[in-house]
Structure 1
């Protein structure tokens, strides 16, 4: 069975979220592509907001961005 390709925008968002929650700088965005960078920054902002609200570790498990509806 073949694996489906993952959406690069969703992957960028998740990686940005993880970077934001761990407190990394937004300057560490790995992509030069404007569209991918936009999704990464969006995830990063969400992650930083959650970090500031104290949703790290066990208290932030319910905010896992890898789970999509």
Structure 2
């Protein structure tokens, strides 16, 4: 078990090290449609909120109407 666990954790460590190298250059965020919809909403809401704070106007909600997410795991 320890050998398998060590191998598995080393894979994760190597991936994290590679991600850290790539993130040094601040790459653009690439989000997928279905899986990253909540993340896209978060960034839209954050942008709308910051724009409203800077302009002094009320925040306009960027997501229009009710939306239902469905996915399988």
Q: Structure 2-normalised TM-score?
A: 0.32
Larger gyration radius, structure 1 or structure 2: 2
Higher relative contact order structure (alpha carbons within 8 Å, sequence separation ≥ 6): 1
Higher helix share: 1
Q: Structure 1-normalised TM-score?
A: 0.34
